[in-house]
Chains A and B, each alone.
Chain A
Amino acid sequence: MSKRSREVSWKAFLREENLPHQWCPGCGYGVILKSMLYAFEKGGIAPKDVVVVTGIGCWGKADDYLYANTVHVTHGRALPVATGIKVANPSMKVIALMGDGDSATIGGNHLIHSSRRNIDVVALVANNLNYGMTGGQYSCTTPLYSRTSTSWYGDPEPALDICRLSETAGASFVARTTVYHAAMIEKYIGMALSHEGFSLVEVISPCPTYFGRYNKLSKAPQMLKWLKEQSIPIERVKDLSEENLKEKFVTGVFADKKGHSFLSRYREIQSRARNELESE
C-alpha cells in the first residue's frame, strides 16, 4: 500500500525519470530496490545521509535509479570503497550493493576481510545464481548440476554459501531471504541498517531470462514459486537430513551478535593513543 505517513517518503530516493529500468521482465532486482527504499523510509533515513556503493553487474546498475550519494566502482571492489567512506564519514549510512559475482567471486576476498574487520557497512547481496549481465554463465553460487550457458549439461561445482562464509569470517549480522518472501527483504535490511558492525543481507533473486530459461523456469511467477519451494527456514534445518538440504536455500537470520565493531575498536585505540601521547 502506498499510503505511508512517514517523514521521508521512499519516493524521495527514486529517480523516476530513469524508469523503466534496464532489468529484464520478471527480474527480482526491482523488488529488492523497492524494499531497500521502504527500509530507508521506515528507518527515517534521508537521501543525504546514505551512501550507496555499487559494483558491476545487473545489480550494479541500481545506483542509476537512486537519489542518494552514490558511487559506482570497479568489479568486486564495492566493499573496500564502502569501508573507506565509512571510516572517513562515520555518521553516514553506507550500503554496498553487490551481485553474487561482485561479492563472492571477484570480490570474495574483500567479503571475507570486511566480515573479519566487522566494519559498520551494510552489504546487500542480490544473488541471481548466475552471471546475468554477460549471458548467463555459471557463477560460484549456481546450484550443482544446473544448466547455464557455460555448463550446458550441468554445473559440476557445488555452490558457495555466502551467508555461512561471512558468518564464519566474523560478520555480526547475517541474513538470507528470497524475492518470493518480499516483505522479509525490507525487514532484514531494516535490521541491518540499525545494526552496529558488518551486516550482510543476501537476497536470492529470480533471473527468468538466463537461469530460468535454461532450467525450465522461464516464466517469472513460475520462478518465484520455485524459490519458495527451494527455501527452508533456518529454524527447520536441524530437523532435516543433509540429503534434504541439498541445493536448498536456507533462509532466516544466521547471526545477530552485539559487540565490538571496527569503528568502536578504532575509537578505543584512538583515545588510548591520545592518552599515551599526552602523558609523554
Chain B
Amino acid sequence: MHSHEGEIEIAEGKKFLIRIRRERCKGCEICIEFCPKKVFEGDELGHPIPERIDECIGCGTCELRCPDFAIEVIPKECHDSEEKS
C-alpha cells in the first residue's frame, strides 16, 4: 500500500513502513544495492521504489546508508502510536 503525507511518500508493508522524501533523493542507488532483502526497484533516475515492501525485515540498512536523509524505516506499531499522539 502506498500513500502520501505531505511531501513524504509512505509504503506500508506487513511489519514496517518505509518513508521516502523524493525531493531529497539524488538517485545514488545505494539503498537499492545494499538492501539485504532487495526490497527496492530503481526507476529510470535511480530513485528507489519499494516494490517488495512485505519482504522488509526492518534492518535499517537503507536508512543508515542513505547520504541524503531521504529514507526512513519505521515499525508499524510506532507509526500508529505516533498518529494517535
Q: A2-B73, A219-B29, A221-B33 are in contact. Are A28 and B23 (CB under 8 A)?
A: no
CB distance B26 to A20 under 8 Å? yes
Check if A1 is an interface residue, CB within 8 A of chain B: yes
Q: A219-B29, A221-B29 are in contact. Are A20 and B34 (CB under 8 A)?
A: no
Mark each residue of chain B from 38 to 74: 1 if its CB lies under 8 Å from any CB of chain A, else 0: 0000000010000000000010100111111110111
CB distance A2 to B26 under 8 Å? no
CB distance B67 to A23 under 8 Å? yes
Mark each residue of chain A from 190 to 221: 1 if its CB lies under 8 Å from any CB of chain B, else 0: 00000000000000000010000000000111
Nearest CB in chain B: distance from A217 CB, A: 13
Given A220-B28, A224-B30, 13 more pairs with CB closer than 8 A? A1-B63, A20-B23, A21-B69, A25-B27, A25-B46, A26-B26, A29-B67, A30-B69, A31-B66, A31-B67, A220-B29, A221-B29, A224-B65
Partner of B74, one of A2, A26, A34: A2
How many chain A residues touch B (CB < 8 A): the figure is 25
Q: A1-B58, A14-B69, A21-B68 are in contact. Are A221 and B26 (CB under 8 A)?
A: no
Q: Which residue of B lies closest to A23 (CB)?
A: B67
Which 10 interchain pairs have the tightest Cβ spacing? A30-B67, A221-B33, A26-B28, A25-B26, A220-B28, A25-B28, A1-B60, A20-B24, A2-B72, A3-B78
| Distance, CA A24 to CA B78, complexed state (A) | 33
| Distance, CA A25 to CA B31, complexed state (A) | 12
Mark each residue of chain A from 1 to 22: 1 if its CB lies under 8 Å from any CB of chain B, else 0: 1110000000000101001110
Residues of A near B33 (CB, < 8 A) are 221
- Could you pull out 10 A-B pairs where Cβ atoms are within 8 angstroms? A20-B26, A21-B68, A23-B67, A25-B26, A25-B27, A26-B29, A26-B30, A182-B65, A221-B32, A224-B65
Residues of B near A23 (CB, < 8 A) are 67
CB distance A220 to B30 under 8 Å? yes
| Distance, CA A195 to CA B46, complexed state (A) | 41
| Distance, CA A148 to CA B48, complexed state (A) | 31
| Distance, CA A258 to CA B69, complexed state (A) | 36
Q: How many A-B residue pairs have CB under 8 A?
A: 68
CB distance A3 to B75 under 8 Å? yes
Q: Which residue of A lies closest to B33 (CB)?
A: A221
Interface band, chain B: 20 to 34
Residues of B near A29 (CB, < 8 A) are 67
Q: A20-B23, A220-B29 are in contact. Are A183 and B69 (CB under 8 A)?
A: no
| Distance, CA A34 to CA B24, complexed state (A) | 14
Q: A1-B58, A1-B60, A1-B63 are in contact. Are A34 and B69 (CB under 8 A)?
A: yes
Check if A27 is an interface residue, CB within 8 A of chain B: yes
Nearest CB in chain B: distance from A179 CB, A: 8
Q: Which residue of A lies closest to B46 (CB)?
A: A25
Partner of A182, one of B58, B64, B73: B64
Nearest CB in chain B: distance from A190 CB, A: 15
| Distance, CA A2 to CA B30, complexed state (A) | 18
Nearest CB in chain B: distance from A19 CB, A: 5
CB distance B73 to A27 under 8 Å? no
| Distance, CA A20 to CA B7, complexed state (A) | 13
CB distance B67 to A221 under 8 Å? no
CB distance A19 to B67 under 8 Å? no
| Distance, CA A1 to CA B64, complexed state (A) | 8
CB distance B65 to A31 under 8 Å? yes
